[in-house]
Amino acid sequence: MSRFNDDNLRLAKEIIGRYPKARSATIPLLHLAQQQEGHLSDEAMAHVAELVGATPAEVLGTASFYEMFKFEPVGRYLINICGTMSCALGGSDELLAHAEKVLGVKVGGTTADGLFTLERAECQAACTEAPNMQVNYRHCHRMTNELFDRLVDDLRSGRRDGDIPAHGTLARVRQQIPAERAVGPAALDDRGAPAWLPAKEVGG
């Protein structure tokens, strides 16, 4: 659908500048493209390829490896219900069945209004808070059917807009390296030991 807009292009170049090799910025740039569009289009991936010096096929090869990248539009809210052991022991199958009923979609489906996509996810690192789920990767601990209903209601009415941005926006704070403080990427052809390492101690 689209290439990076001007602001994001500036940001993309800044991110690339932090790595010794541009291709290392592939995943961060794919996240940026997904933030702009909500999913990854062929054109966006081609733009990423152009920027990191890879072919579009290489970028697609990387993107398709990772769960979080979506190649078709998903709902504004991606609901991931954890199904791994601790959450399963805590009743995640029942929560998933309830979610399917309330949203009227099966796992993998998106509601007709384009608001919700439902997925079964793997371990979300909140195992003591079973059953756990995420909305756009924001944790929701110890979910019950009632809490799920209330959450869906809150999301529908926009009451959670303040803390749960639309799908694609991963973190609302980005790293900013002030130019005067930046060391810059360690170039691969710079073969010398760092300045603070006395020559006699080389090898540590």
Partner 1 sequence: MSSYRWAAGYIDDGDRPKIVTSRFHLEDSYTLERYLATGGYQALRHALARTPAEVHDEVRGATVLGRGGAGFPAGTKWGLMPADKYPRYLVVNGDESEPGTYKDRLLMELDPHQLIEGSLIAAYAVGLAQVFLYIRGEMPLAHERVATALNEAYVAGYVGKNILGTDFSVDIVLHWGAGAYVVGEETALIESLEGKRGEPRLKPPYFPAAIGLYGQPTIVNNVETLSNLPWIMANGAAEYVRIGTETSPGTRMVAVSGHVERPGVFEIVNGTTTFRDLIYGDDFCRGIRNGNQLKAFVPGGGSAPWFTAEQLDLPFEGKLVGAAGSMLGSGAIMVMDHTTDIPAAALTLTRFYAHESCGQCTPCREGGTWLERVLQRVVDGRGTSADLAQMKEIGTSICPGEFPHASSSRHGLDATPFPYKMTTICFVGPSAYAPVHSALTLFPEEFAARVRDRVQIPVTAVQ
Q: Which of residues 1-60 bind partner 1 (CB under 8 A)?
A: 18-21, 23-28, 30-31, 52, 54
Distance CA 9, CA 12 (A): 5
Which CB, 61 or 108, lies closer to partner 1? 61
Q: How many chain residues touch partner 1 (CB under 8 A)?
A: 82
Which CB, 112 or 188, lies closer to partner 1? 188
Shortest distance, CB of residue 5 to partner 1, whole angstroms?
20
Among positions 138, 153, 159, 166, the unique one binding partner 1 when judged by CB under 8 A? 138
What is the b/e burial string over 115-144, where b = at least 16 CB atoms within 10 angstroms of the residue's CB? ebbbbbbeebebeebbbbbbbbeeebeebe
For residue 80, list its beta bridge partners.
119, 134
Among positions 9, 11, 68, 115, the unique one binding partner 1 when judged by CB under 8 A? 68
Distance CA 68, CA 105 (A): 20
Shortest distance, CB of residue 112 to partner 1, whole angstroms?
25
Count of C-beta atoms within a 10 Å radius of residue 4: 21
Question: Quick check: helix, strand or coil at residue 26?
Answer: helix
Rounded to 5 degrees, φ, ψ at 112 are -60, -30
Which CB, 23 or 156, lies closer to partner 1? 23
Which CB, 51 or 112, lies closer to partner 1? 51
Site residues (CB under 8 A) for partner 1, limited to 74-133: 80, 83-86, 88-90, 121-130
> Comparing C-alpha atoms, which of 42, 70, 44 is closest to residue 29?
44
The answer for residues whose C-beta is within 8 angstroms of residue 184's C-beta and 6 or more apart is 17
Question: Which amino acid is located at 50 in the chain?
Answer: E
Which CB, 162 or 194, lies closer to partner 1? 194
Which CB, 104 or 184, lies closer to partner 1? 184
Among positions 139, 159, 161, 166, the unique one binding partner 1 when judged by CB under 8 A? 139
What is the x/- site pattern for partner 1, positions 145-184, by CB under 8 A?
A: --x--xx------------------xxxxxxxxx-xxxxx
